[in-house]
Amino acid sequence: MENSQSNSPKKRKEATEATESIGNVKATPKPKLFVAIDIEASGYYSNEHYIIAFGAVMFLQRGDEIEEVDSFMGSMKPPTPAHHFEGACRTEFWENLEKNPGLLKKLVAWEAAAKTPAEIMDAFVAWLQRKDVGQYVWLSDNPEFDIGWINTYLVTYCTDPAHRRPLNALFGRYEPAIHTDVFMFGALGGWSWSPAVEAAKTYGFDKAPKGNHDPVADAREIGLDFIRCATAVNFFETF
């Protein structure tokens, strides 16, 4: 009797539906949030210099579709009066303003909106938490610098001890960072700037210019460069 019940049409249908459900879960990967980051700092050393402003742009990937969904901008006050501009950065930001009048407007706006590092880092974590739908993947064209600075500020200034962690462990799970320029060099060939830029053209896109000191705009171009390159080499089909 027990055996005949387990082989009944109803039981077989339930088993089939359960198997299909399990199969669908396996076949449908979690969405990924690619977050491109760019910072503007007053120098290289966190004990002497500070983050002036940073931007983050978020791209949501579902299957082979990816789109920009949000951005974050934070400008910060120096942590202490002792934190200052390093010489080369002072020259780039202040002494060349006549050549780049748009930068002066940005600096004035950043200074007017500047908040403490704790306020900005708490707001950044809250922004990420509101968008958390799957796995984060951090993007930077210079992660040792940009993500290194963000990690230092997270660990040092977040008011919640649970968030005093580097980005790749911020939410208690490992989330990788991709060096976008190295990714591009390896994917398109050349292992140096000029050959990779030329190779990009053969795939139908130009390596976007960067360096206008607008961290959100620069982060967006970092993300778009990665998406163009990753799409060209079918990266999203397997990642």
Question: 3-state SS string over 7-53?
Answer: CCHHHHHHHHHHHHHHHHHHHCCCCEEEEEEEEEECCCCCCCCCEEE
Our count of domains for the chain comes to: 1
Assess if residue 219 is contained within a domain.
Answer: no
Question: What domain range is 175 assigned to?
Answer: 29-179
- In the three-class reduction of DSSP (H, G, I as helix; E, B as strand; rest coil), residue 211 is classed as coil
Assess if residue 123 is contained within a domain.
Answer: yes
Question: Which candidate, 165, 179, 150, 163, places its Cα nearest to that of 53?
Answer: 150
Query: How is residue 32 written in tokens?
Result: 């990924």
How far CA 217 is from CA of 23, 145, 201, 225, in Å, comes to: 41, 18, 22, 12
pLDDT band for position 11 (50/70/90)? very low
Interhelix angle for 193-202 vs 215-232, to 10°? 60
Assess if residue 116 is contained within a domain.
Answer: yes
Assess if residue 20 is contained within a domain.
Answer: no
More confident residue, 160 or 86: 160
Q: Where do we find the tokens 């050959």? A: 195
Assess if residue 216 is contained within a domain.
Answer: no
Assess if residue 115 is contained within a domain.
Answer: yes
pLDDT band for position 88 (50/70/90)? confident
The CATH number that applies at residue 132 is: 3.30.420.10
Among 24-33, 168-177, 193-202, the least confident range: 24-33
**What is the total residue count of the chain?**
239
Among 78-87, 115-124, 127-136, 201-210, the least confident range: 201-210
Supply the pTM of this predicted model: 0.81
Query: How is residue 62 written in tokens?
Result: 């579902």
What integer pLDDT is reported at residue 23 of this predicted model? 45
